[in-house]
Amino acid sequence: MKRLILFTLFTSFLLAACGSSSATGPEKTVEAYLNALNEKDSTRLSTLSCADWEPTALMELDSFQSVSTTLEGLTCQQTETLPDGSVLVACQGKIIASYSGELQEFDLAARQYVAENSTGEWLVCGTK
């Protein structure tokens, strides 16, 4: 009987640990969003966006479709929790786009991303 209880407890802890390791915080979601933008992956970008933000995210993606982009020095961190439960995420780094051989840099620190977890997963829902 003791072995059964110990086995049950061990299994419960193991399952809890597995569940928490797959959880993604808002910083990682924003990083994945920016990587999808850089890789021009519209499906992944849509998956990482709130329904209301998705058209804006896809429009931003369209602006990079015909150019070569590179993502450099990407790091993100949560900076603030807003009254509605969403959070602000600030990133460092830049997207470098090559327009007809001319390089243009987009500083990621110029705006913060709004992330929400209303569905059990963090999603990018806007910028500030």
- For residue 52, the enclosing domain spans 25-127
* Mean pLDDT computed over 55-77: 96
Mean pLDDT score of the chain: 85
pLDDT tens per residue across span 90-100: 999 999 999 88
Query: 31 lies in a domain?
Result: yes
In a domain, 107, yes or no: yes
Structural domain includes residue 71: yes
- Which residues lie below 8 Å from residue 37, measured CB to CB, with a gap of 6+? 45, 57, 60, 61, 64, 95
Residue 51 CB-density burial (10 A; 0-12 exposed, 13-18 middle, 19+ buried): exposed
* Percent residues over pLDDT 90 in the chain: 77
- H helix intervals, 22-109: 26-39, 42-47, 54-64
What is the tally of structural domains in the chain? 1
User: Domain of 43: which CATH number?
Assistant: 3.10.450.50
pTM reported for the whole predicted model: 0.80
- The larger pLDDT score, comparing residue 35 to residue 8, is at 35
